[in-house]
Structure 1
Amino acid sequence: MSTPPTPTRRPRERSSPWTETTLDDGSGTPLRVRIHDTLADRAVGALVVHFHGGSFIAGDLDSGLAMARLLQSAGATVVSVDYPLAPDRPFPAAVESGYAALLWAYRQRSRLAGRDARLFVAGEEAGGNLAAALAMVCRDRHRPVLDGQLLVSPMLDARVGTASMREGHAGASGCRWARGWCAYLGCGAGAEHPYAMPARAERLSGLPPTQILTAEDDPLRDEALAYAQGLEQAGVEVRRAVLAAPTGWPCSLGAPDTGAWGETMHHHLTEFLAPGVQISRPACS
């Protein structure tokens, strides 16, 4: 478990209007994205494509607003994606729509965040799953090249049976995650596909530098840390942090008031998105 860093103070909240547009993702249904312009100097040059939580079956751009603003306050231009939800559109619909949004952001990066903008994917809970999946898609399809993936309390393992799930007394929430997985995987044909369940991926090499954030009281903690370990063993550069309880993660990640953990999280986001960041990789055992 990492030692909590000394928190850095977030910039004072100020008006942060966004713009929205729709994209053609090839599905026949317009894909809505919301663009939050950076509050920092454009020289920071971080463009983050962000995916909200909601267990694959709920959530929208508004429920992801708090996380988008945290990323924005860390210096990024943020493109939040209103990806299709299960069960109406199970796997791989959200992954393919997310990839379409990622390609669009990459092609528009000069206009959105500057010519040399670095490109990241980020997400919380189910959105963390999609961000992890899209990092694999970019590796396998050879474009675009990502500068990093940022996974916050990611929902990665459909088995929903870790110790942190049991310790967290997930109760109805655990049932919600099980329902979400069932809806997302549909009849089960995609259950073993690494893009559907990154925790089961057998090939993790070649993925971009990764920041994984979880918390002591996060029911998704163990699957997040197991994924971090798998990435490290595959030679991927990883930062991981376990925030002190109580956080109420992942449910509280959609709340406008981030509480005591907000400053610590801002510190981690700012460090990871900073230009020229160097991530030390632990030696593999």
Structure 2
Amino acid sequence: MNTQWHTIENGGTDQPPLSVRVYKGEGENRTPPLVLYLRGGSFLEQGGQCPELPVARALADKGAVVIEADYSTTSCNEFPAVIDCAFEALDCLSNNRKLYGSAKSLVFVAGEEAGGNVAAGLALKARDRMPGKLAGQILLSPMIDPLMASTSFRDADKIGMRQRWAEGWSHYLAKACGFAHPYAAPCQCTRLNRVAPALIFTAEDDPLRDETVNYAGRLSEAGVQVRQHVFPVGSGWTGLYRGEGGKWLSAVCTEFADFVQDLKH
């Protein structure tokens, strides 16, 4: 698979052109699911020339068209610019489905770690600004709780992430008025009804497990369709934070395929 970064116009808004990278497999699919993918990086890494993403590549190999958007460079990884940039990318993808798939292709947003935060916030904004256009959200260990006080988070030091995540939250919220805005910290949102169905991943040894599982539960309680997968200890899941693949990749693809099929019925 050969992927290259290129820029696309975003509907004549005041936002600069979007930088995207398209992952597309060899198989033929007349109505492939379209996935806007947002990488991790703890709100500290810039996009542009980053390595390919294992999850994005794996989903594309299974028939999806994955569009990785560089939400960080133009936004400087600061809220609310990050959400504004990601929303422009989602709106552009939704309005240009035929360019990547077909008019009948379902549109999804996916994100890992910090990108999972953006994906969750984006799903909330899509509910409010473009209702009915987002088919689902895929959250892979979303970094959604700036308090970082969960029981599972104690394990963050074991993989060297506590300080990094603390610095990332500080940077992301530097221009925000606190962290109560639901688009910035989705776990703080008190109105989760009518948000797009969710496919959510974490692992038993994931420092972000508690906030991920709690958010999945709150979505379900709000009447949102939720499909959750918790990997066992030792599955290599925390390699996700370093852009590494593992045994869990095939399970992610299988769960995604089943998630899409459920939404089609």
Distance 1:142 1:22, change over 3 A: closer
Residue 185 of structure 1 deviates from its aligned partner by: 0.4
Asked if 1:141 is matched to 2:129, the reply is yes
Secondary structure of the residue that 1:240 maps to in structure 2? Answer: strand
Mapped partners of 1:80, 1:34: distance in 2: 5
Counterpart AA for 1:223: E
1:195 to 183, 207, 217: 183
Larger displacement relative to structure 2 (43-52 or 33-42): 33-42
- Residue 49 of structure 1, aligned match among 24, 30, 36: 36
Which runs of 5 or more structure 2 residues have no equivalent in the other structure? none
Within 1, Cα distance between the matches of 2:175 and 2:129? 26
Three-state SS of the structure 1 residue aligned to 2:108 is strand
Task: State the partner residue of 1:124.
Answer: 112
Residue 205 of structure 1: CA displacement? 0.1
1:64–1:249 distance in 2 versus 1, CA, 3 Å: farther
Name the SS for the 1:83 alignment partner: coil
Which deviations, in whole Å up to 9, do the C-alpha atoms of 1:218-265 show, x marking residues without a partner? 111110000000001100000001011224444435435x22222222
Match of 2:247 in 1: 260
The normalised TM-score by structure 1 is 0.83
Q: How has the CA–CA distance of structure 1 residues 179 and 63 changed in structure 2, closer, same or farther, with 3 Å as cutoff?
A: farther
* 2:6 counterpart (12, 16, 20): 20
Which structure's relative contact order is higher, taking Cα pairs within 8 Å and 6+ residues apart?
1
Moved over 6 A (4+): none
Unaligned runs of 5+ in 1: 1-14, 279-285
Deviations 1:7-40 (A, max 9, x none): xxxxxxxx34456223348565432111222444
Q: Is the aligned partner of 1:107 residue 2:95?
A: yes
Q: What is the TM-score with the length of structure 2 in the denominator? A: 0.89
Superposed, 1:1-285 pairs within 5 Å as 15-18=1-4, 20-24=6-10, 26=13, 29-60=16-47, 62-63=50-51, 65-84=53-72, 88-143=76-131, 145-170=133-158, 172-256=160-244, 258-274=245-261, 276-277=263-264
Q: 1:63 deviation in Å?
A: 4.2
How has the CA–CA distance of structure 1 residues 108 and 254 changed in structure 2, closer, same or farther, with 3 Å as cutoff? farther
Shift of 1:120: 0.5
Amino acid at match of 1:126: A
User: Would the aligned equivalents of 2:239 and 2:246 in 1 still touch at CA under 8 Å?
Assistant: no
Q: Distance between the aligned counterparts of 1:187 and 1:253, measured in 2?
A: 25
Q: 2:126 and 2:263 mapped to 1: Cα distance? A: 21
Please report how far the alpha carbon of residue 161 of structure 1 lies from its aligned counterpart in structure 2 after TM superposition: 1.2
User: Structure 2 vs 1, CA of residues 276 and 240 (structure 1 numbering), >3 Å: closer, same or farther?
Assistant: closer
Identity of aligned residues (%): 36
Q: CA deviation at 1:188?
A: 4.4
CA contact under 8 A between 2:32 and 2:102: conserved in structure 1? yes
- State the number of aligned residues: 263
